[in-house]
Amino acid sequence: MSFPLSFCERTSAGFSLVETLIALMIIAGVLGFTVPDFKNQIIAKEVDAASGRLFRDLQLARVDSIRRGVPVVLCPSADGASCQFGGQWREGWIGFEDHNRDQRRDNDEEILLSGPSTPSVSVQWRSPNWLRFSPDGEAWPNGHFKICSSDRSKARAVIIYRTGRARVDHRSPSGGPVLC
């Protein structure tokens, strides 16, 4: 049996509409699973970045206090020049030499560090709303910062011991979850 030549030479020039729709459905299904995961990863990275910056600045303030032999105070600051004792740590913070130990920055007291604002996460501290490192490296008051976001399961605690040492953990100092 012989076929006409035109039938044998016919070739496909692309995908059919059905094949294209099936491929698009598969892509949409895969994206449906991965997009929410990307959002969770972004939230986790924002919390990690904020807790890492705060941890780094706490270590720097402690080292500067020991090295310079003067108390260093960390406090919330939106303007990067003065403390806001009723302010939010998420607006930023400063660390400065506190020669007269009044927890207020005077014009002759040098700013040693300035932490960036973290608008996507909440940074909470206890009362009083400042932290002081003494020249022997000790911290007062001890406690923990709570770093929180819209996903409470991603919360972190930056724990400061009386000795001045700090650590970052996904649990509160009591071992339970960080309550935001």
Q: What is the pLDDT of residues 106-137, one digit of tens each?
A: 999 999 999 998 888 999 999 899 999 999 99
DSSP string, the chain: ----HHHHH----S--HHHHHHHHHHHHHHHHHHHHHHHHHHHHHHHHHHHHHHHHHHHHHHHHHHHHTS-EEEEE-SSSSS--TTS-GGG-EEEEE-TT-SSS--TTSPEEEEEPP-TTSEEE--SSS-EEE-TTS-EES-EEEEEE-SSGGG-EEEEE-TTS-EEEESB-TTSSBPP-
Q: What is the pLDDT of residues 51-74, one digit of tens each?
A: 999 999 999 999 999 999 999 999
- Inside any domain, residue 141: yes
- Inside any domain, residue 107: yes
Q: Is 32's pLDDT higher than 80?
A: no
- Inside any domain, residue 69: yes
Report how far residue 143's alpha carbon sits from residue 167's, in angstroms, rounded to the nearest whole number: 11
Whichever domain contains 52, its CATH number is: 3.55.40.10
Pick from 162, 118, 121, 117: which is nearest to 144 by CA?
Answer: 162
Pick from 100, 121, 104: which is nearest to 49 by CA?
Answer: 121
pTM: 0.79
pLDDT in the model for residue 93: 96
Range of the domain at 133: 16-169
pLDDT in the model for residue 102: 94
- Inside any domain, residue 26: yes
Instruction: For residue 150, count other CB atoms closer than 10 A to its CB.
Output: 12
- Inside any domain, residue 11: no
Amino acid code (one letter) for 28: A
Total domains present in the chain: 1
